[in-house]
Structures are given as C-alpha cells and as structure tokens.
Amino acid sequence: DQQVKQNSPSLSVQEGRISILNCDYTNSMFDYFLWYKKYPAEGPTFLISISSIKDKNEDGRFTVFLNKSAKHLSLHIVPSQPGDSAVYFCAASPINGGATNKLIFGTGTLLAVQP
Amino acid sequence: DAGITQSPRHKVTETGTPVTLRCHQTENHRYMYWYRQDPGHGLRLIHYSYGVKDTDKGEVSDGYSVSRSKTEDFLLTLESATSSQTSVYFCATLGNSGNTEAFFGQGTRLTVV
C-alpha cells in the first residue's frame, strides 16, 4: 500500500509560469516531509523540506505548503525555468525519536518546463 | 555533498546468481538506506540500517539481504537474482541529528538476464 502518493506522473509548464507539484500521504505518523529532484543517470538531490509544525517553507523560487488535515503537501516553483525539468519526488519521515528514521518516497512527477 | 560511493555502477548478471552491491560513505552518518527505482513505482525502500549491525526491512525486502559490519559500509545482496530485480539501486545516508535531508549515491544499474 502506497503511503506517499504523487498522482500526477507528469506535468508540462511554460517557462516563467508557476509549477505546482502535489503529494498526498496516508500515515498520520509522518511529521517531516521533503522534496527531491532527480536528473537522469544521477542520484536524487534534496530540494526543500517542511516540518509538521509549519504549514509553509520557502527557499528562493521553491515553496512547500503542508495541509496536515488533508494529509497533502505541494511544491510551488515560481518562476519555472527549463533547468527545473526533472523528476520530483516527495518523501515523508515518521516522528523523530524512533530508532528507524525510515524515509518513504512517492512515485515521482516528471516536470517538463518548455522554453 | 556527502561522500557516498556505490559500486559497481553497472552490472549485468545471470538469473540465479548472487549479487552484492556496496555503498560506502565517508560522513559517519548513522542511517543508511537501500532503494530501488522502477518506472511507475518511484523509489521503494528495500532495507535500511540505523547503526552497525542494526538493520530492518523496508517495503520490498523479499529476495534481498543486507549487512552493516562497520559504519561506513552497507551491503545489499541479492541472494539469487531474478529478472524482476532488474532495476536502478540507490543508497542513501542520513545524518545523526534528527530530521534532516538524506544524501544519495549515484546509483547502480543492475540488469538480470
């Protein structure tokens, strides 16, 4: 059973416009959420994260929003650039303090930013 | 970036043979993970480790075993490779101080023929 879901396999956006990538989770024990970006033939790289005590975190062009009641988070990229074209993974981690610190990923969304 | 090295980077093996993938880190990170990436499935956790000799199963652990005899090395073994284990395998490490981002290796592309 997929605990972290990204229901849009792909997204195409014009350069300069906003890209919105969505992620849903089912496990209420998750309290830390991350977004990763992956180019072909490379490992995923960390982009931005958010703790469950916040509902928004911003870093330059990237903003992550968290709606705990809906178990939903989204990544906004403004303005989108061709170099943002990549696969984006959402990930979630359960409450810190446990021994495991398990990190669960979604299925990914392929973003294509058209020049 | 964390110093994470995966070896080999590419491997072709025959069905039924054992295969071991190695992940080596130089950051003294406590947590280490093995994931596989497949189209339509994203990154799925195979096994993870939360310390030397401390490991546990992830989402898709059947057919895989791991070992961590020292902090810097985390080995993934396919006991008897099958075609369904053809995939790209990623190792990741996580620092010691609470929630933070995990760092990934560059991946190992494994083909089982």
Beta strand extents in chain A (DSSP E only): 4-5, 10-14, 19-25, 30-38, 45-51, 56-59, 62-67, 72-77, 86-94, 104-105, 109-114
- Print pLDDT tens along chain A (115 aa): 678 999 999 999 999 999 999 999 998 888 889 999 999 989 999 999 999 999 999 999 999 999 999 999 999 999 999 999 999 999 998 765 455 667 889 999 999 999 9
Dihedral sign, CA of A96, A31, A37, A58? Answer: negative
Tokens of B69: 């005899």
Residue of A nearest to B90 (CA): A43
On whether any CB of chain B is under 8 Å from the CB of A103, the answer is yes
How far off is chain A from B71, nearest CA to CA, in Å?
A: 15
Question: Touching check for A104 and chain B: CB below 8 Å?
Answer: yes
The answer to whether the CB atoms of B102 and A108 lie below 8 A apart is no
Task: Supply the mean pLDDT for chain B.
Answer: 92
pLDDT in the model for residue B97: 62
Q: Which of B21, B41, B43 to mutate to test the interface with A (most CBs of A within 10 A)?
A: B43
DSSP code for A84: G
pLDDT score for B1: 53
Q: How far apart are CA B24 and CA B7, in angstroms?
A: 8
Instruction: For residues B18-29, give the mean pLDDT.
Output: 95
- Nearest Cα neighbor of B31 from A96, A16, A84 is A96
Distance of alpha carbon A22 from alpha carbon B103, whole angstroms? 22
User: Cβ contact (<8 Å) for B45 and A104?
Assistant: yes
Whether A105 and B102 lie within 8 Å, measured CB to CB = no
Place of tokens 């919105």: A20
Give residue A102's pLDDT: 79
The Cα–Cα gap between B45 and B96 comes to: 19
Task: Count other Cβ atoms within 10 Å, centred on residue A113.
Answer: 21
Lowest mean pLDDT among B29-33, B73-77, B109-113: B29-33
Contact B13, A60 (CB under 8 A): no
- Percent of residues, chain B, with pLDDT higher than 90: 79
- Name which of B25, B54, B93, B99 to mutate to probe chain A: the one with the most chain A Cβ atoms within 10 A of its Cβ: B99
CB pairs under 8 A between A and B: 64
